[in-house]
Structure 1
Amino acid sequence: MPRHTAVAHRGARHRRQSIVRGLYLPRSADAAAGSVATYGIPMLVLATTDSLSLTGAAFALEWIPRLAAFAAVGSVVDRHGAATVFRLAALARMLVALAAAVALPALGGGPGTTVTVMALAAALGMLTQCSYIAAETQGADATRAAGDRGHRVQSVLLSIDQVALLAGPALGSLLLQQAGASGMLTVLAAFSLLGALLTPHRTPSPKLVPVRMRAGLRVGWSTLRSLPALAWLVAGLALSNFTIGVLQAAAPVIVVARLGHSNASLGLVWSVAAGVTLVAVAACRRAIDRFGLWPVGALCATTAACVCLAVATAHTYGTYLVLTAVLMAGEGGLTVVLRTVRSHLIPAPVYASILAVTVLLLLAPYPLAGALVALTPPDALGHAITACACLQAAGLAVAFARLRTRSLVLLGPTTVN
């Protein structure tokens, strides 16, 4: 083997090892901790308070701080570096979880326990959001460094998130049943500590555009408006997320009330969907290598829109399960496209601030979707889903049409060396 070829192979191997050690492993530990927190804490609240209303409130308390913290967290990451914020958030989550693991057995029930678990839900929600924004920023740095192979980085990161989504609820339930609240919180703390320890120490690069915390949302919004391609993609996916949120909120009514199946059957739907999404993300990685981002994204958008229209008319559990899995697979492919485009288009100095705005816009439709389902009579739910599916199809069609007309080099075929 020629000397320069051997050196190139060693360099490529070193880069792969570096990204696995410095990005994928910390992200895996953090995703596991975040998933256990997101799905395990409401179960913990139910186990300790025996209150369905408090369980729902705990889930809301996990998400309200996340949505409220986007602008501030993005600004902090831009100012102090993603690795620093990620490490500090993971360590703080570890300390909060350990403190609760010690306090809950000592309290022994009553109002003190209720206050503790509700405060735990809010604190873990906030800290999980901090580590998520920091981790996404690190993933964007790696995507830019990978050049035309950036979508491969994003497909791996999305696969990590999907595995955590698949395993988190089951792991949280198992730990709570077998080891109790303290055992579950201790494992959550261990994942958080592992993520902090695995994160390499990096010196933050100097920021060309220093962002004040109070101005983070304004800077992110104005910069997003200056990137029409990204803005159109975010708008289309926000409409798509509204439809997905309606389907998720309506799932218990469809599966339990209309189709006559149990809550366990509903859980199976989302587990199968997560597994199929993993396969779809891997397939999208190879397809993007061959055909480029735009064709694959357009195919995923078309699949999601068509399947969503069909879900509204599903009359059997098997049909509903298959259609939901295909729908979520299409959404997984769209997420790979979004993350790759976002990583290449957003300027690095203000990446976290703009990321915070884009994620906020993508998550904001979910509470609106829940309100729509709550206000819609069960008999009219199918019509509401059909209307949302038409809105989703129109939004995605306009978004990808605008991306196509702008003829971005990024959205063309990907060169594979």
Structure 2
Amino acid sequence: MNHAATPRDVGHADSLVRSIYLPRSADAVAFAMCTYGIPLLVLATTNSAALTGAAFALEWMPRLAAFGWAGSIVDRRGAALVFHLASLARAVALAAGAVLLCLHPSGTVASVTVMVLAATTGVLTEFSYIAAETAGAVAGRRAGSRAHRVQAVLIGIDQTATLAGPALAGVLLLAGPPPMLAVITLLSLLAALLALRTPPSPLAPARSRKERPGAGLLTGWHTIRALPALGWLVTGLTLSNLAIGILQAAGPVIVVKHFGQSTTAVGLVWSAAAAATLLAVTICRYALDRLGLWPVGAACALIGSLACLAAAQAPDYLSYLVLVAILMAADGGLAVVLRTLRSHLIPPEKFGSTLSATILILLLPFPIAGLLTALTPPDGLGHVITACAVLQALGLICTFARLRTDPALRTRT
């Protein structure tokens, strides 16, 4: 039987918009513009596939290093404070970078500035992301059986940002790096202001606050090992991310050099992928209500594996765009499954540390993908993508075969 929304439901939804969804939206757009804008800038200025791959790796390596601190600091200090300070610091770094690029638009100073910005914004964005994810998980737990709906909205926000971010960065880049950095600065400031509305998250016990920050990863690792369903799903998605990372790192080279398209076409690929993911997340939201986590996850794993294998052999730009969009749509469905599962399984007092460890594992393939792109001649990238796609398919098959009877994924949300 369907029930009309009560004033309490409406008030709760309004509270989520103000305290969770709006801050996450501003931060996600800034994240997407940094992630996709800087590699495009490197390719446009150097015309070097190797440097583009190196920049991608450099962008991700400091982010990974930040996870040992981010989760434990969020657990000790609270999500709202960390979110605010990280977004504010990113705005300051970007503003300084924009000034330097105005004074030195080309040459060594410009190159060093862009690379330093890639590393700095990467670290600060991971702090804000961990804080935002923790706040979202708290909201999901409070939603109870509707936790997957909160997670679907958060993924929708991320994918909308991915839809707008690359295209916006590409357009602004036509006017030069300073305008692009200025817009990201304003978005970061907006995220910092909106983060003040984020409700405080449960803090870890006093004992854990005395631990060194690096101990958070160890705590998270032990928690993952104690939750087999979460561990298997993280393993499968890590192998999947290697294939996705190769497509992201090599995307500018494939689109520009292999298919002969412009740098704007690179952003269009990921904007189309984000649009497809938004649709997929909406579908998964209702499918999870009726089918549960395992059937939806297994279907997304199958579709994603087939799309990635086909993308490695794409004959032209249009087919490549469509196949990447299908792959990322399937990955969005898997992300809903993962976020819902971890919001149910991870103890609240260990969530920040476990989230950090989980995301660290999931993101390890991305700098590896950047290095592989830097070391592989452009003509050999198709073979590397094929090998990673095969590894992705085998990993996801093993994961969902192992989880087929696991109660954590068989129970309907």
Please give the TM-score of this superposition, normalised by the length of structure 1.
0.87
CA displacement 1:285-312 (0-9 Å, x = unmatched) = 1111121121111111111122333334
Alpha carbons of structure 1 residues 203 and 155: separation in structure 2 relative to 1, 3 Å: closer
- Give the C-alpha shift of residue 66 in structure 1: 0.4
Of the three residues 64, 67, 71, the one matched with 1:70 is 67
CA RMSD of aligned residues (A): 2.9
Q: 1:277 corresponds to which residue?
A: 277
Letter in 2 for 1:120: L
**Distance in 2, Cα, partners of 1:55 & 1:299:** 34
Give 1:42 deviation, angstroms.
Answer: 4.4
Contact 2:53 2:250 (8 Å CA) reproduced: no
1:277/1:329 contact within 8 Å kept: yes
Q: In 1, are the aligned partners of 2:236 and 2:392 still within 8 Å (CA)?
A: yes
- Answer yes or no: is 1:82 the counterpart of 2:79: yes
Aligned to 1:192: 188
1:111-260 equivalent positions in 2, closer than 5 A: 111-178=108-175, 180-199=176-195, 200=197, 202-208=199-205, 210=208, 212=211, 213-251=213-251
CA distance 1:45–1:301, change in 2 (3 Å)? closer
Instruction: Write the distance in 1 (CA, Å) between the matches of 2:111 and 2:315.
Output: 41
Conservation of the 8 A alpha-carbon contact between 1:58 and 1:118: yes
In 2 relative to 1, CA 111–300 (structure 1 residues): closer, same or farther, beyond 3 Å?
closer
Q: Which runs of 5+ in 2 are unaligned?
A: none
Q: Superposed, which structure 2 residues align to 1:9-408 within 5 Å?
A: 9-42=6-39, 52=48, 57-106=54-103, 111-178=108-175, 180-199=176-195, 200=197, 202-208=199-205, 210=208, 212=211, 213-251=213-251, 264-372=264-372, 384-408=384-408
Structure label with greater radius of gyration: 1
Distance, in Å, in 2 between the alignment partners of 1:315 and 1:394 is: 24
SS at match of 1:404: coil
**Distance in 2 (alpha carbons) for counterparts of 1:125 and 1:365:** 16
Corresponding residue SS for 1:207: coil
**Matched residues, percent identical?**
58
2: distance between equivalents of 1:144 and 1:244?
Answer: 30
State which drifts further: 276-285 or 302-311.
Answer: 302-311
Once residues 221 and 330 of structure 2 are traced to their aligned partners in structure 1, the CA distance between those partners, rounded to angstroms, is: 27
Structure 1 residue 390: Cα displacement:
3.2
Relative to structure 1, the CA distance from residue 284 to residue 381 in structure 2 (aligned partners, 3 Å threshold; closer, same or farther) is same
CA distance in 2, matches of 1:400, 1:58: 34
Amino acid at match of 2:123: M
Distance 1:349 1:272, change over 3 A: same
For normalisation by structure 2, the TM-score amounts to: 0.87
Unaligned runs of 5+ in 1: none
Aligned residues: 406
Q: For residue 150 of structure 1, give the secondary structure of its aligned residue in structure 2.
A: helix
How far off its partner does 1:272 sit? Answer: 1.9
* TM-aligned CA distance change 1:348 to 1:322, over 3 Å: same
Hey, what's the Cα distance between the residues in 2 that align with 1:370 and 1:188? 24
Q: Secondary structure at the match of 2:26?
A: helix
